[in-house]
Structures are given as C-alpha cells and as structure tokens.
Amino acid sequence: MQRYIEQLIEMLHQAQNNRPSPHDLVLPEEMEGLRGMIELEKSLEEDEQTMENIFGVPQIYFPPEDRLSDEQVQQLKKAIIDLWHAYHYEADFRKGEFNERQQYSKLVAKWKKGVPVLRGTNGTWHLEMFDYEQYWDEDELRYLSDEEYDAKFPMKNFDDFDDDETFYKE
C-alpha cells in the first residue's frame, strides 16, 4: 500500500504544474493595480468545475481513511493541501473540530464538488469544512448539545422584540 501512496503523492505533486494559465489581460497602466481583482472576477465568471477535473486526479484514487495508517493519512493530507495551495484553494477547519482522519475524508469528499477555476495570481477560494448541523463552541472547542446551546444563548420571545433590542440576553 505504501508504494501506491507514494505514487498518488507524486501524481498530486505533478498536478501542481498543470495549473491553468492566467487570463491574458491587456490593461491600461492606471488599472494595473486592479489586475488581481479583475483576474479573480474573470475566473468567477467561468463555470465551476470539480476538483477532479481541475487537478486531473480522480477521486476514486484516494483510499478510504480506514485502510490507511496514521502516517499515510498525514502524508496524503499534506499533499492534498499543498496541491490546493498551488491552485489558490484553502481548506478552513476549526481548531479541534475534526481529527486528522476526518479532515482527510472531508478533503477527499470535496473532490467531486464544484469550485471556481482560479486562473489569476491573486485571491484564494476558501472551502469551509465545518459541520453546520451542530453548535460549535469556540471557547470550549467542542460541540454543544441543544440544551447547552439554549442555556448559553437564550433567545428572547420574538413577540416582545423591539427594534432597539438584541435577540440575545447579555
């Protein structure tokens, strides 16, 4: 299996060199300061593609995390993140929310999702790797139960709400 992991990592490294070329923009000198923004806007005008298409590496090539050693998970996760950085994509994980194996699985799951093809040299597309179905507590770095969340952030009765009040008790 290790030989296969090494070949997959090499494929991910080679994919870094296949980044689409920037748009050929001819701008007046006074607009050169806006080149990065204009390149980003032109990239967002194009149809989204899957990472599989952009990178040329099929998602099926990635083994499930339960078939990998801890070291292999770390190696693949690093290679994926390095590839994403080369293409100006950033995976946003909250500290403590997912372990290494879960992060690897989430990165691989994004392979089939549509993302903009960033051709410029500026800008980064952030992909949030959060679980929005649960209440994350930044102070405690853990999920809160519904009861804990309601106790920490009690809602006012909407019928008693005035325009000059906040929704939450302080």
Q: Which of 28-42, 53-67, 96-110 has the highest mean pLDDT?
A: 53-67
Indicate whether 160 pLDDT > 60.
Answer: no
Q: What is the pTM of this model?
A: 0.70
Is the pLDDT score of 166 beyond 70? no
Taking CA atoms, 79 is separated from 11, 25, 46, 116, in Å, by 10, 31, 27, 21
Q: Which two tokens stand for residue 7?
A: 């070949």
Per-residue pLDDT, averaged over 25-47, amounts to 73
Alpha helices, H only, 16-155: 35-45, 51-55, 70-86, 100-109, 146-152
Number of H helices, E strands in the chain: 6, 6
Q: What average pLDDT does the chain have? A: 80
pLDDT category, 74, cuts 50, 70, 90?
very high
* Residue 169 vs residue 90, higher pLDDT: 90
DSSP labels, 73-85: HHHHHHHHHHHHH
pLDDT of amino acid 170 = 47
At which residue do the structure tokens 């507590």 appear?
137
Pick 39 or 105 by higher pLDDT.
Answer: 105
* Beta carbons within 8 Å of 105's beta carbon, 6+ residues apart: 64, 65
Provide the pLDDT for residue 23.
59
**50 — alpha (psi -120 to 50), left (phi > 0) or beta?**
beta
What is the DSSP secondary structure assignment for residue 127, as one 8-state letter? E
- Least confident piece of the model among 82-91, 92-101, 148-157: 148-157
